[in-house]
Amino acid sequence: MTTLVPACWQAVRPQTPQQRFLYWAGWLLVASGLPHLLLATVDGSWAGPVSWRKPAIFGLSFGLTLLSAAWVQRGLPERRWGWIPVGLLGGGSVFEVALITMQAWRGVPSHFNPGPGFDVIVWGLMAQTVFAVVLALIVQLVRVAVQFRGSAAARAGAAAGLLVTLAAGKIGADLAALGEQVVTATGGVPHEVVIGTEGSGRLAHAVGLHGFQVLAALAILLELGTLTARGRLGTMLLGIAGYGALFAGVSVTAYAGRPWTEPGLPIGALSVAGVVVLLVAGGVTVRALRTATRQEHASVVG
Protein backbone atom coordinates (compact mmCIF):
# COMPACT_ATOMS: atom_id res chain seq x y z
CA MET A 1 0.00 0.00 0.00
CA THR A 2 2.07 2.93 -1.25
CA THR A 3 -0.65 5.42 -0.40
CA LEU A 4 -4.20 5.01 0.78
CA VAL A 5 -5.89 6.67 -2.21
CA PRO A 6 -4.34 4.48 -4.95
CA ALA A 7 -4.97 1.40 -2.83
CA CYS A 8 -8.63 2.34 -2.39
CA TRP A 9 -8.90 2.97 -6.12
CA GLN A 10 -7.57 -0.50 -6.86
CA ALA A 11 -10.17 -1.90 -4.45
CA VAL A 12 -13.11 -0.18 -6.15
CA ARG A 13 -11.94 0.19 -9.76
CA PRO A 14 -14.61 -1.21 -12.10
CA GLN A 15 -13.33 -4.15 -14.12
CA THR A 16 -16.32 -5.33 -16.17
CA PRO A 17 -18.93 -3.61 -18.37
CA GLN A 18 -21.64 -4.09 -15.74
CA GLN A 19 -19.48 -2.59 -13.02
CA ARG A 20 -18.52 0.33 -15.27
CA PHE A 21 -22.17 0.98 -16.09
CA LEU A 22 -23.08 1.31 -12.40
CA TYR A 23 -19.90 3.28 -11.71
CA TRP A 24 -20.41 5.92 -14.39
CA ALA A 25 -24.15 6.13 -13.80
CA GLY A 26 -23.34 6.82 -10.15
CA TRP A 27 -20.89 9.58 -10.98
CA LEU A 28 -23.38 11.06 -13.46
CA LEU A 29 -25.93 11.41 -10.66
CA VAL A 30 -23.35 12.83 -8.25
CA ALA A 31 -22.39 15.35 -10.94
CA SER A 32 -26.06 16.30 -11.37
CA GLY A 33 -26.60 16.68 -7.63
CA LEU A 34 -23.65 18.94 -6.85
CA PRO A 35 -24.71 22.02 -8.91
CA HIS A 36 -28.24 21.74 -7.53
CA LEU A 37 -26.75 21.61 -4.04
CA LEU A 38 -24.96 24.87 -4.85
CA LEU A 39 -28.22 26.38 -6.16
CA ALA A 40 -30.07 25.34 -3.00
CA THR A 41 -27.33 26.86 -0.86
CA VAL A 42 -27.23 30.13 -2.78
CA ASP A 43 -30.97 30.83 -2.85
CA GLY A 44 -31.83 29.03 0.39
CA SER A 45 -34.51 26.84 -1.20
CA TRP A 46 -34.20 23.88 1.15
CA ALA A 47 -37.75 23.46 2.44
CA GLY A 48 -41.09 22.97 0.76
CA PRO A 49 -42.48 20.77 -2.01
CA VAL A 50 -40.61 22.75 -4.69
CA SER A 51 -36.92 23.29 -3.95
CA TRP A 52 -33.47 22.69 -5.36
CA ARG A 53 -32.89 20.42 -2.36
CA LYS A 54 -34.71 17.56 -4.06
CA PRO A 55 -32.60 17.20 -7.24
CA ALA A 56 -29.51 17.79 -5.10
CA ILE A 57 -30.24 15.23 -2.38
CA PHE A 58 -31.75 12.63 -4.68
CA GLY A 59 -28.91 12.98 -7.17
CA LEU A 60 -26.23 12.56 -4.52
CA SER A 61 -28.06 9.78 -2.67
CA PHE A 62 -28.83 7.69 -5.74
CA GLY A 63 -25.35 8.36 -7.09
CA LEU A 64 -23.61 7.14 -3.94
CA THR A 65 -25.89 4.11 -3.85
CA LEU A 66 -24.88 3.19 -7.40
CA LEU A 67 -21.19 3.61 -6.57
CA SER A 68 -21.65 1.28 -3.60
CA ALA A 69 -23.50 -1.19 -5.82
CA ALA A 70 -20.63 -1.04 -8.34
CA TRP A 71 -18.26 -2.11 -5.55
CA VAL A 72 -20.56 -5.00 -4.64
CA GLN A 73 -20.68 -6.00 -8.30
CA ARG A 74 -16.90 -6.60 -8.21
CA GLY A 75 -17.53 -9.59 -5.97
CA LEU A 76 -20.20 -11.12 -8.19
CA PRO A 77 -19.57 -13.33 -11.23
CA GLU A 78 -20.33 -11.70 -14.56
CA ARG A 79 -23.45 -13.17 -16.12
CA ARG A 80 -25.22 -12.00 -19.26
CA TRP A 81 -28.58 -12.02 -17.46
CA GLY A 82 -26.95 -9.82 -14.81
CA TRP A 83 -27.57 -6.88 -17.12
CA ILE A 84 -31.25 -7.08 -16.16
CA PRO A 85 -30.85 -6.12 -12.47
CA VAL A 86 -27.85 -3.89 -13.25
CA GLY A 87 -29.83 -2.09 -15.95
CA LEU A 88 -32.88 -1.70 -13.71
CA LEU A 89 -30.74 -0.36 -10.87
CA GLY A 90 -28.56 2.02 -12.86
CA GLY A 91 -31.08 3.05 -15.51
CA GLY A 92 -33.93 3.31 -13.01
CA SER A 93 -31.89 5.51 -10.67
CA VAL A 94 -30.91 7.87 -13.49
CA PHE A 95 -34.50 8.05 -14.75
CA GLU A 96 -35.87 8.71 -11.24
CA VAL A 97 -33.46 11.58 -10.61
CA ALA A 98 -34.09 12.94 -14.11
CA LEU A 99 -37.84 13.15 -13.39
CA ILE A 100 -37.25 14.87 -10.04
CA THR A 101 -34.81 17.31 -11.63
CA MET A 102 -37.20 18.07 -14.49
CA GLN A 103 -40.00 18.90 -12.07
CA ALA A 104 -37.72 21.18 -10.05
CA TRP A 105 -36.79 23.14 -13.17
CA ARG A 106 -40.47 23.32 -14.15
CA GLY A 107 -41.20 24.81 -10.73
CA VAL A 108 -43.71 22.15 -9.72
CA PRO A 109 -43.65 19.50 -6.97
CA SER A 110 -42.08 16.22 -7.98
CA HIS A 111 -43.75 14.25 -5.18
CA PHE A 112 -47.48 13.83 -4.44
CA ASN A 113 -48.41 16.16 -7.29
CA PRO A 114 -52.16 15.66 -7.94
CA GLY A 115 -52.31 17.51 -11.23
CA PRO A 116 -52.59 18.50 -13.96
CA GLY A 117 -52.44 15.30 -15.99
CA PHE A 118 -48.74 15.43 -16.90
CA ASP A 119 -47.68 15.78 -13.25
CA VAL A 120 -49.80 12.80 -12.25
CA ILE A 121 -48.09 10.75 -14.95
CA VAL A 122 -44.66 11.83 -13.66
CA TRP A 123 -45.53 10.88 -10.09
CA GLY A 124 -46.78 7.50 -11.28
CA LEU A 125 -43.61 6.90 -13.30
CA MET A 126 -41.52 7.75 -10.26
CA ALA A 127 -43.34 5.18 -8.15
CA GLN A 128 -42.93 2.46 -10.80
CA THR A 129 -39.24 3.31 -11.24
CA VAL A 130 -38.56 3.03 -7.52
CA PHE A 131 -40.23 -0.39 -7.56
CA ALA A 132 -37.83 -1.49 -10.33
CA VAL A 133 -34.83 -0.18 -8.38
CA VAL A 134 -35.94 -2.02 -5.23
CA LEU A 135 -36.40 -5.23 -7.21
CA ALA A 136 -32.86 -4.89 -8.58
CA LEU A 137 -31.47 -4.38 -5.06
CA ILE A 138 -33.25 -7.52 -3.87
CA VAL A 139 -31.71 -9.52 -6.73
CA GLN A 140 -28.28 -8.13 -5.86
CA LEU A 141 -28.78 -9.09 -2.21
CA VAL A 142 -29.67 -12.66 -3.18
CA ARG A 143 -26.59 -12.84 -5.41
CA VAL A 144 -24.40 -11.60 -2.57
CA ALA A 145 -25.79 -14.32 -0.32
CA VAL A 146 -25.07 -17.16 -2.76
CA GLN A 147 -22.39 -15.99 -5.22
CA PHE A 148 -20.18 -13.36 -3.57
CA ARG A 149 -16.48 -14.09 -4.15
CA GLY A 150 -14.91 -11.62 -1.73
CA SER A 151 -13.86 -12.03 1.88
CA ALA A 152 -16.29 -12.86 4.67
CA ALA A 153 -16.03 -9.28 5.96
CA ALA A 154 -16.79 -7.84 2.51
CA ARG A 155 -19.72 -10.23 2.07
CA ALA A 156 -21.15 -9.22 5.46
CA GLY A 157 -20.71 -5.52 4.68
CA ALA A 158 -22.31 -5.85 1.25
CA ALA A 159 -25.28 -7.84 2.55
CA ALA A 160 -25.87 -5.53 5.52
CA GLY A 161 -25.54 -2.45 3.31
CA LEU A 162 -28.14 -3.77 0.89
CA LEU A 163 -30.47 -4.77 3.73
CA VAL A 164 -30.35 -1.37 5.39
CA THR A 165 -30.93 0.27 1.99
CA LEU A 166 -34.03 -1.86 1.46
CA ALA A 167 -35.21 -0.97 4.98
CA ALA A 168 -34.77 2.69 4.08
CA GLY A 169 -36.85 2.03 0.98
CA LYS A 170 -39.65 0.68 3.17
CA ILE A 171 -39.59 3.91 5.19
CA GLY A 172 -39.71 5.86 1.93
CA ALA A 173 -42.76 3.86 0.85
CA ASP A 174 -44.47 4.62 4.16
CA LEU A 175 -43.74 8.32 3.72
CA ALA A 176 -45.17 8.20 0.21
CA ALA A 177 -48.36 6.60 1.53
CA LEU A 178 -48.67 9.29 4.21
CA GLY A 179 -48.13 12.00 1.61
CA GLU A 180 -50.87 10.53 -0.55
CA GLN A 181 -53.22 10.59 2.43
CA VAL A 182 -52.52 14.29 2.92
CA VAL A 183 -53.20 14.99 -0.76
CA THR A 184 -56.47 13.05 -0.59
CA ALA A 185 -57.57 14.88 2.55
CA THR A 186 -56.50 18.41 1.60
CA GLY A 187 -56.12 18.42 -2.16
CA GLY A 188 -52.68 20.00 -1.81
CA VAL A 189 -49.08 18.84 -1.78
CA PRO A 190 -47.77 18.58 1.82
CA HIS A 191 -45.00 20.98 2.85
CA GLU A 192 -43.27 18.12 4.65
CA VAL A 193 -44.34 14.57 5.45
CA VAL A 194 -43.98 13.58 9.10
CA ILE A 195 -44.95 10.43 10.94
CA GLY A 196 -47.47 11.10 13.67
CA THR A 197 -46.92 14.51 15.23
CA GLU A 198 -43.22 15.18 14.65
CA GLY A 199 -41.61 11.91 13.56
CA SER A 200 -38.84 12.59 11.05
CA GLY A 201 -39.22 9.70 8.66
CA ARG A 202 -37.06 11.62 6.22
CA LEU A 203 -34.11 11.46 8.63
CA ALA A 204 -34.64 7.75 9.26
CA HIS A 205 -34.86 7.19 5.50
CA ALA A 206 -31.57 9.06 4.97
CA VAL A 207 -29.73 7.25 7.77
CA GLY A 208 -30.80 3.90 6.36
CA LEU A 209 -29.99 4.79 2.78
CA HIS A 210 -26.43 5.86 3.54
CA GLY A 211 -25.56 2.88 5.68
CA PHE A 212 -24.62 1.20 2.39
CA GLN A 213 -21.79 3.69 1.84
CA VAL A 214 -20.58 3.55 5.44
CA LEU A 215 -20.38 -0.25 5.51
CA ALA A 216 -18.88 -0.46 2.02
CA ALA A 217 -16.15 2.01 3.02
CA LEU A 218 -15.47 0.04 6.18
CA ALA A 219 -15.16 -3.20 4.20
CA ILE A 220 -12.78 -1.62 1.68
CA LEU A 221 -10.52 -0.12 4.35
CA LEU A 222 -10.47 -3.35 6.36
CA GLU A 223 -9.06 -5.18 3.35
CA LEU A 224 -6.12 -2.74 3.26
CA GLY A 225 -5.14 -3.11 6.91
CA THR A 226 -3.19 -5.72 8.84
CA LEU A 227 -6.05 -7.51 10.58
CA THR A 228 -6.48 -11.22 10.06
CA ALA A 229 -9.51 -12.50 8.18
CA ARG A 230 -11.15 -13.27 11.51
CA GLY A 231 -10.28 -9.82 12.82
CA ARG A 232 -11.70 -8.14 9.72
CA LEU A 233 -14.95 -10.07 10.03
CA GLY A 234 -15.25 -9.28 13.73
CA THR A 235 -14.64 -5.58 13.12
CA MET A 236 -17.17 -5.56 10.28
CA LEU A 237 -19.79 -7.24 12.47
CA LEU A 238 -19.07 -4.62 15.12
CA GLY A 239 -19.63 -1.87 12.57
CA ILE A 240 -22.84 -3.49 11.34
CA ALA A 241 -24.14 -3.76 14.91
CA GLY A 242 -23.28 -0.13 15.60
CA TYR A 243 -24.92 1.22 12.47
CA GLY A 244 -27.90 -1.06 12.97
CA ALA A 245 -28.42 0.28 16.50
CA LEU A 246 -28.21 3.88 15.26
CA PHE A 247 -30.65 3.21 12.42
CA ALA A 248 -33.03 1.37 14.74
CA GLY A 249 -32.98 4.21 17.27
CA VAL A 250 -33.68 6.90 14.68
CA SER A 251 -36.41 4.80 13.03
CA VAL A 252 -38.21 3.88 16.27
CA THR A 253 -38.17 7.54 17.28
CA ALA A 254 -39.66 8.56 13.93
CA TYR A 255 -42.42 5.94 13.99
CA ALA A 256 -43.25 6.94 17.56
CA GLY A 257 -44.04 10.39 16.17
CA ARG A 258 -41.30 12.06 18.23
CA PRO A 259 -38.69 14.55 17.00
CA TRP A 260 -35.23 13.02 16.60
CA THR A 261 -33.91 15.31 19.34
CA GLU A 262 -36.33 13.76 21.87
CA PRO A 263 -36.05 9.99 21.45
CA GLY A 264 -36.57 9.10 25.10
CA LEU A 265 -33.92 7.57 27.34
CA PRO A 266 -33.91 3.90 26.20
CA ILE A 267 -33.97 4.66 22.47
CA GLY A 268 -31.58 7.57 22.85
CA ALA A 269 -29.16 5.30 24.70
CA LEU A 270 -29.46 2.74 21.89
CA SER A 271 -28.60 5.35 19.27
CA VAL A 272 -25.65 6.69 21.25
CA ALA A 273 -24.38 3.16 21.87
CA GLY A 274 -24.63 2.50 18.15
CA VAL A 275 -22.52 5.56 17.35
CA VAL A 276 -19.92 4.55 19.95
CA VAL A 277 -19.69 0.98 18.64
CA LEU A 278 -19.40 2.25 15.07
CA LEU A 279 -16.61 4.62 16.09
CA VAL A 280 -14.81 1.75 17.81
CA ALA A 281 -14.98 -0.29 14.60
CA GLY A 282 -13.66 2.71 12.69
CA GLY A 283 -10.86 3.19 15.21
CA VAL A 284 -9.76 -0.44 14.91
CA THR A 285 -9.75 -0.08 11.13
CA VAL A 286 -7.70 3.12 11.19
CA ARG A 287 -5.18 1.55 13.55
CA ALA A 288 -4.78 -1.44 11.24
CA LEU A 289 -4.26 0.92 8.30
CA ARG A 290 -1.57 2.85 10.18
CA THR A 291 0.19 -0.39 11.06
CA ALA A 292 0.15 -1.43 7.39
CA THR A 293 1.58 1.95 6.40
CA ARG A 294 4.40 1.72 8.97
CA GLN A 295 5.25 -1.80 7.89
CA GLU A 296 5.41 -0.78 4.25
CA HIS A 297 7.54 2.26 5.07
CA ALA A 298 9.92 0.07 7.10
CA SER A 299 10.24 -2.40 4.23
CA VAL A 300 11.00 0.39 1.75
CA VAL A 301 13.60 1.98 4.04
CA GLY A 302 15.12 -1.40 4.83
Report residue 298's pLDDT band, with 50, 70 and 90 as the boundaries: low
pTM: 0.92
Average pLDDT across the chain, whole number: 90
For residue 2, pLDDT beyond 60: no
Name the range with the highest mean pLDDT among 15-19, 190-194, 258-262: 15-19
What percent of the chain stands above pLDDT 90? 68
Q: What was the pLDDT predicted at 1? A: 46
Domains in the chain: boundaries: 1-149, 188-302
Helix axes 211-224, 201-209, angle to 10 degrees: 30
| Tens of pLDDT, residues 153-165 | 999 999 999 999 9
Residue 149, phi then psi, degrees to nearest 5: -110, 5
For residue 185, pLDDT beyond 60: yes
